[in-house]
Amino acid sequence: MKERILVVEDDTSLRQWIDFELSFDGYEVIQAADGAQALAEVDRQESLDLILLDVQLPGMDGFEICSRIQQLPAMSAVPVIFLTARASLDDKLNGFSAGAVDYLTKPFKMAELKARVLALMRSKAVQRSVGRQEEHARSHGELDEAAMIQRALMTCKLGTICCVDVYAECSPARSVGGDLYDVQPRTDGRLSIVEADVSGKGLAAAMVTAEVRTVMREATSMLASPGAAMALANRRLYDDLTGVDKLVTIFAAYYTPETRSVIYANAGHSVAIHKAAGEPARILEATGMPLGIFDDADYEEHVVRLDIGDLLVICSDGFPEASDVAEQMFGYDRLLHAIDDIADRSAAEIGK
């Protein structure tokens, strides 16, 4: 069966050119000129392997289209590549937050587009193979052992550390997954806090997570700032991440007890929320791109103060993206309100 690609582009000549080139390479191409047509085609198709999506479209922009497609259970795993002339950092972060896996800036060379499409298709084939291996491992009890090892890698001292109340827990959607946390006192008296999320789920994500944990622990122990640690980790992980088509969102922070300050860098869209006593909870915005996109990425640092009664919550996107039986997402607003309601409890009570 041919792999199927939906091309959403309002420029007719560009859309038809992409159709011609990809069809020549053996793909089945479906065209849409705007958001309404794109959503109609998504509803009509039993399956898609890839979506090429223009950002600047009449009526509904690409970010909104991508978000709506991501909410459809049958299409939530379909990779999206944005095609756009808008190449600012904010635009790219918005795209990745909406669910895109790649960004191609116009004007682009067709050879580059075809190379990225081929890489994604190969990655999907690898993921299907890993899925079969995971099923085999599950049937032979090997996945339980992998889960035990992953839990052991996230065993660190919790409770009162460096004068703050700390709690952490990881509950992957499957036996193993792509989430990790690491809390370690530094030799300079500060507390290092890392939360990371590798794209994808299951055994493939878990294998990458182990490497990310090792590299980040080394980087945060060596370097005096979380942004520098993140940049070093990205350089060391870049080739491996691109080789398996994975991205990593990371929140890394150092807490200084003497000043009650947290300096942090947020790569991508890790969910980090600061709740100051007497004030509503607020999201700490991303300060850089996820690891695995650019090999020379820099990560800006911001500082927040943690006074007595303040709360810092760092979690995976599984919280706001969780759905109830009616398939309604929990969402960021409800998460913020929930944190406001329970902020006076202990860290362990909040976590559980």
For 28-78, what is each residue's pLDDT tens digit?
Answer: 999 999 999 999 998 888 788 899 999 889 888 888 898 888 888 778 778
DSSP 261: E
For 323, which DSSP code? B
* Mean pLDDT value of segment 233-241: 91
For residues 35 and 91, what is the distance between their CA atoms, to the nearest angstrom? 18
Task: Report yes or no: 254 and 191 within 8 Å, Cβ to Cβ.
Answer: yes
**pLDDT > 80? residue 206:** no
Least confident among 216-225, 236-245, 273-282: 236-245
Segment 69-95 mean pLDDT: 78
Residue from 90, 31, 91, 87 nearest 61 by CA: 91
pLDDT (average), residues 324-334:
71
pLDDT given for residue 146 in this prediction: 58
Beta strand 4-8 with 50-54 is: parallel
Read off the pLDDT of residues 148-182 as tens digits, 9 standing for 90 and up.
Answer: 655 656 565 666 777 788 877 766 555 566 688 88
Mean pLDDT over the full length of the chain: 82
Locate 72 and state its tokens.
């459809």
Q: Choose the CATH number for 146-351 among 3.40.50.720, 3.20.20.80, 3.60.40.10, 3.40.50.150.
A: 3.60.40.10
Instruction: Measure the CA angle with vertex 269, ends 302 and 187; round to 5°.
Output: 50
Place of tokens 């409800």: 334
4-131, CATH topology level? Rossmann fold (3.40.50)
Q: Is the pTM of this model over 0.85?
A: no
**Between 317 and 337, whose confidence is greater?**
337
pLDDT of residue 261: 94
Q: How far is CA 248 from CA 38, 209, 266, 321, in A?
A: 29, 9, 11, 17
Taking the domains of the chain in order of start, what are their residue ranges? 4-131, 146-351
pLDDT of 289 = 86
Return the minimum-mean-pLDDT range out of 92-96, 155-159, 270-274: 155-159
If you ran DSSP here, which 8-state letter would residue 187 be given?
Answer: T
User: Dihedral sign, CA of 170, 176, 181, 184?
Assistant: positive
